[in-house]
Amino acid sequence: MKILLIEDDKNLCDTLAFQLEKEHHSVEICHDGRDGLDLFLQDAHDIVLLDRMLPTMNGLLVLRKAREQGILTPVIILTALGELYDRIEGLDTGADDYIVKPFAFEELSARIRSIGRRNGSYSEDNLLSFGDITYDTGLRELKGPGNTLQLSGREGRLLEVFLQNPETSLRRMVILSRVWGTDAEVEEGNLDTYIHFLRKRLKYVESRLNLKTIRGVGYILEN
């Protein structure tokens, strides 16, 4: 999963990022509400971990503005405000879950897995499955009906994006942001090249999945 962590406690950020990356997540960190909103609106992450008390713009306002723009990325609020009213307010603003500080990392990890399962983007043991293929994100190993092979890092990340969003039309810029990063300078032709590579990999493992081009929009992985 690609995770956006918006939290002003830099020590907590470093600790969470280290632990999340050990679980094979990719983590982008922001310490400021306005900057966090800019990243949130890029719609380039699988989940957002959002502190409620932030400089320049509080977390609930960040969340409200993102939802008003139609961004549906799942959000877990991280906060020291744990009263019933606070939790209700956060959920009513558009959060998917709410965890009160201090918390055990194991609980946060379980909540991320729970949201991932709801959105079809996570399964146990680093395995992502759709149709007739299974992909191990740790080993970067793709298994199909006929063969198994290991993908390159970029190919693997591209496949992850599609497996996390099966039967969903993905815009080119969203794919570029998720695979290459929001700040990367990359030509759009690079995406076409890796789509070509990924189609060859799917054919090699004898998958019947269709990585379809949607002209003027992007791509969709269909069963």
CA dihedral 79, 83, 84, 86 (to 10 degrees): -50
Q: Residue 125 — pLDDT band, cuts 50, 70, 90?
A: low
- What is the chain's mean pLDDT, rounded? 87
Q: With DSSP H G I counted as helix, E B as strand and the rest as coil, what are the percentages for the chain, rounded to 5?
A: 45, 20, 35
pLDDT for the residue numbered 177: 80
- Domains with residue ranges and CATH for the chain: 2-118 (3.40.50.2300), 125-222 (1.10.10.10)
pLDDT for the residue numbered 158: 92
Q: What is the pLDDT of residues 129-173, one digit of tens each?
A: 999 999 988 778 999 999 999 888 889 889 988 998 899 889 888
pLDDT for the residue numbered 108: 92
CA–chain centroid gap for 55, Å, is: 24
Q: What is the pLDDT of residues 29-40, one digit of tens each?
A: 999 999 999 999
**Distance of alpha carbon 99 from alpha carbon 77, whole angstroms:** 6
H helices of the chain, where?
A: 10-22, 33-41, 59-68, 84-93, 105-118, 153-164, 172-180, 188-204
Q: What is the pTM of this model?
A: 0.57
User: Beta partners for 211?
Assistant: 221
